[in-house]
Structure 1
Amino acid sequence: MRTPAGRIAELADHCVQCGLCLPVCPTYALDRNEAESPRGRIAIASALARGLAEPTAALREHLDHCLGCLNCETVCPAHVKYGELLIETRAVLGTSPQRPRLLLMLIRRPALLRALRRIGRWTALSHWKNALARRLPDHSPWRAALLNLPAGTPSSRARAGQQPADGGRRLALFPGCVASIDDAQAQQAAITLLQAVGFHVSVLPTFCCGAMDLHGGATDAAEQAAARVRRSWVASGATHLLTVTPGCLGALRRALPGASVVDPVELLAEHAAKLRFRPLAERVALHLPCTQMNVARTDAALLRLLRRVPRLDVLALPRPPYCCGAAGSHLLEFPRRAAQLRDETLGRVAELEPQRLLSSNIGCRLHLDAGIEQQGLRWPSQHPLTLLAQQLEQHP
């Protein structure tokens, strides 16, 4: 029977050390350090798996710094399964000692998080959170959490319409944890758009998909979340599982290997001829999350949809190695590095001189919003599906 270490070594052996991954790696661009590149991390994982190196804090940090963007997989001539190798290696190492366990526990529990947000609204937290954050060290995950806390009131949960099912066109929407609170508007927009092209959409209960645990080496917690995903999926009776959060897509597909787990953008693009949009004379910058490009692979479909809005000028941000640095819990564990990557991204946005910023991943958008606020910029941000639903002709 193959051991986890044997599997890691086998995956690492596929790497031919060509270095084509280096130019598309955000952390290599940040540090210009071989150990902060996919090639370097593969070598570290291989050495750890073969017992040729000890899992020191210094070695581990290079692995923990990885954003999991998977840009490297898109250019690898040997088709190395880098994402799988990273997950397997982190599972063997276990969770990082600096992982903010309490904070992540709060984030993973949407009912508790929603209650805390209500308390924050009653205490006018949005008016003094930045002053409180400045009293904390700049490497503190709690400081990062406060700075990334949205100022607005969370929307109500997305709700399915009463439209009857149409044969094999039943969809189930996975709300997630943070997204069920701070991206409920986008989830409702997805339902509106999908119903407009003839789908029936039900909504699953709110809970975490386990992505942060999976990528953080907390394998038991990740498997518990995956089991809950499987139970909810079977109970839904749907033919497709959807999420408006590309960052959840990989974990959901891992939990449901035989199911159709898709970005709603994919289905909407297939039925785009049925959608009519009101004109919007505006220039928007489109931030494409790494997971949308490299996991969902719906970036081209999203651009086509947005360009169906008359008079809308859509400008996509440059391709790799640029990454906003959010990367799940990375913005909490390594806030200074995440801020560097975010500020570089916002610099690219500024070059486009937009009136609005669009991004489909809630973690990315909250992270970018924090930078927009700190820099005194004037760009409202929005999920692309929210904009599309607002411009839909039959939308009230």
Structure 2
Amino acid sequence: MMSMPLEKSPMPAPAGRIAELADQCVQCGLCLPVCPTYALDRNEAESPRGRIAIASALARGLVDPTAGLREHLDHCLGCLNCETVCPANVQYGELLIETRALLGPPARRPRLLLDLLKRPTLLRVVRQLGRWIALRRWKNELARRFSTHSPWRAALLNLPAAAPTVRVQARQQPSGNRPRLALFPGCVASIDDAQAQQAAITLLQAVGFHVSVLPAFCCGAMDLHAGAADAAEQAAQHVRRAWAASGATRLLSVTPGCLGTLRRALPGVSVLDPVELLAEHAATLSFRPLLQKVALHLPCTQVNVARTDAALLQLLRRIPGLDVSTLPRPPYCCGAAGSHLLEFPERAAQLRDDTLRKAATLEPQRLLSSNIGCRLHLDAGIEQQGLSWPSQHPLTLLAQQLEHSH
């Protein structure tokens, strides 16, 4: 057991910051009903209130940083539903990041696999090799050779159905009086969501914006949320250099999961979901009809970080004949949560299957979701359950139905 500090003894800066954030919590418990991990376990330690108490005790040296305590913190999905209902305005996301940084990355973290995912050039080569050997045909058999809690098993099961072929390009055009925009491709999204990124460019150019594309690399989200502070800061510096070289006035990402990390790296910069800009200019866009029923999955980061769920619905409802229904909430998270689906695949699958059960009640012909990690995770469940719903980024559907601009 760590020695208990004197009541007024100074704490190191990071620990003092954690204690300060934790002290804002009034322990009211309003966060419990909206926490997906508390719903899963019905364990106080798996709730925001419980995790805040753990973080406070760790910061003050009242408990040892055991693997058991660390696991409760690592189970957190970072959905931030708790922040939206907190009457005391506790900065739970910041507290979680600071506490994980104090503890450092967990021993179970699949570093080799995550390093691959964070390197788009290498990942593209590996995906191409997988295509040549028809990995999709026997990935399920290979996955069964790993234990159910293996990150490699989860990675195989979440392998996309087809090797991506789209490469994002922005057609040069004068910007007029509109701000110059830069699109951040990310790492996995730069490959598996390239079609959505190209769709965003098409739609933005249709309303008169000039869009450039930054180099593809990891924003640092997976490191930041795992407590790998040094690696996260290196990624943030990479973001700042790329942004400075872009000459743009606003930065965009079609992946809501990247927005919070990009905003953290670029304080004072306008970092947006393209949906927000497109909704502002929705009257200039016209779409071809589509008689189809779709289920819209709203990622936690789109609702709680980007806060563009209403804007997205506004755009989709401009497609004549499209019947759009959002998934009932709860569930509050599909379980993907960055690298969570790799580190805790069994827990992630429970949350995903609950999400798909809710989607099934809508009897959709298509499933839409704007976060690539969520969509790959949901696709794996759709495949395993033999469902017949193709999935798509909402921007891809909007671009496909785009008719003309006035």
Aligned residues: 395
- In the other structure, the counterpart of 2:270 is 260
- In the other structure, the counterpart of 1:288 is 298
Secondary structure of the 1:394 match is strand
- In the other structure, the counterpart of 1:274 is 284
Q: 1:357 aligns with which of 342, 364, 367?
A: 367
- In the other structure, the counterpart of 2:89 is 79
Deviates more, 1:160-169 or 1:278-287: 160-169
Secondary structure of the 1:105 match is helix
The answer (yes or no) to whether the contact 1:71–1:321 under 8 Å persists in 2 is no
**Aligned equivalents of 1:155, 1:22: Cα separation in 2:** 43
The answer (yes or no) to whether the contact 2:178–2:209 under 8 Å persists in 1 is no
Q: 1:58 aligns with which of 68, 81, 85?
A: 68
In the TM superposition, what whole-angstrom CA distance separates every residue of 1:129-152 from its partner, at most 9, and x where no partner exists?
111001110000000000000021
Deviates more, 1:135-144 or 1:146-155: 146-155
Secondary structure of the 2:90 match is coil
- How much has 1:321 moved relative to structure 2? 4.5
Establish whether residue 126 from structure 1 lines up as the match of residue 102 from structure 2. no
The answer (yes or no) to whether the contact 1:209–1:251 under 8 Å persists in 2 is yes
Amino acid at match of 1:390: Q
In the TM superposition, what whole-angstrom CA distance separates every residue of 1:321-344 from its partner, at most 9, and x where no partner exists?
521000000000000000000000
Amino acid at match of 2:218: C
Amino acid at match of 1:391: Q
- In the other structure, the counterpart of 1:223 is 233
The answer (yes or no) to whether the contact 2:178–2:208 under 8 Å persists in 1 is no
Given the superposition, is the C-alpha separation of residues 289 and 154 from structure 1 closer, same or farther in structure 2, using an over 3 Å criterion? Answer: same
Establish whether residue 375 from structure 1 lines up as the match of residue 385 from structure 2. yes
- How much has 1:320 moved relative to structure 2? 4.0
- Normalization by structure 1: what TM-score? 0.99
The answer (yes or no) to whether the contact 1:29–1:321 under 8 Å persists in 2 is no
Deviates more, 1:177-186 or 1:318-327: 318-327
Establish whether residue 142 from structure 1 lines up as the match of residue 152 from structure 2. yes
Secondary structure of the 1:293 match is helix
Secondary structure of the 2:40 match is helix
Misfit runs of 4+, over 3 Å: none
The answer (yes or no) to whether the contact 2:334–2:378 under 8 Å persists in 1 is yes
- In the other structure, the counterpart of 2:339 is 329
In the TM superposition, what whole-angstrom CA distance separates every residue of 1:335-360 from its partner, at most 9, and x where no partner exists?
00000000000000000000000000
**Aligned equivalents of 1:330, 1:390: Cα separation in 2:** 32
- How much has 1:260 moved relative to structure 2? 0.4
The answer (yes or no) to whether the contact 2:294–2:322 under 8 Å persists in 1 is yes
Establish whether residue 233 from structure 1 lines up as the match of residue 246 from structure 2. no
Q: 2:187 aligns with which of 164, 177, 197?
A: 177
- Normalization by structure 2: what TM-score? 0.96
Instruction: Calculate the aligned-residue CA RMSD, in Å.
Output: 1.0
Q: Structure 1: which 5+ runs fail to align? A: none
Q: 2:319 aligns with which of 304, 309, 314?
A: 309
Q: Sequence identity, in percent?
A: 82
Amino acid at match of 1:126: R
The answer (yes or no) to whether the contact 1:286–1:358 under 8 Å persists in 2 is yes
What does 1:24-35 align with in structure 2 at a 5 Å threshold? 24-35=34-45
**Aligned equivalents of 2:150, 2:331: Cα separation in 1:** 26
Q: 1:384 aligns with which of 391, 394, 400?
A: 394
**Aligned equivalents of 1:79, 1:34: Cα separation in 2:** 20
**Aligned equivalents of 1:11, 1:23: Cα separation in 2:** 21
**Aligned equivalents of 2:332, 2:92: Cα separation in 1:** 18
Amino acid at match of 1:113: L
The answer (yes or no) to whether the contact 1:168–1:239 under 8 Å persists in 2 is no
Secondary structure of the 2:334 match is coil
**Aligned equivalents of 1:270, 1:93: Cα separation in 2:** 43
Secondary structure of the 1:357 match is strand
- How much has 1:168 moved relative to structure 2? 4.2
- How much has 1:155 moved relative to structure 2? 2.6
Secondary structure of the 1:179 match is helix
**Aligned equivalents of 2:310, 2:329: Cα separation in 1:** 12
- How much has 1:302 moved relative to structure 2? 0.3
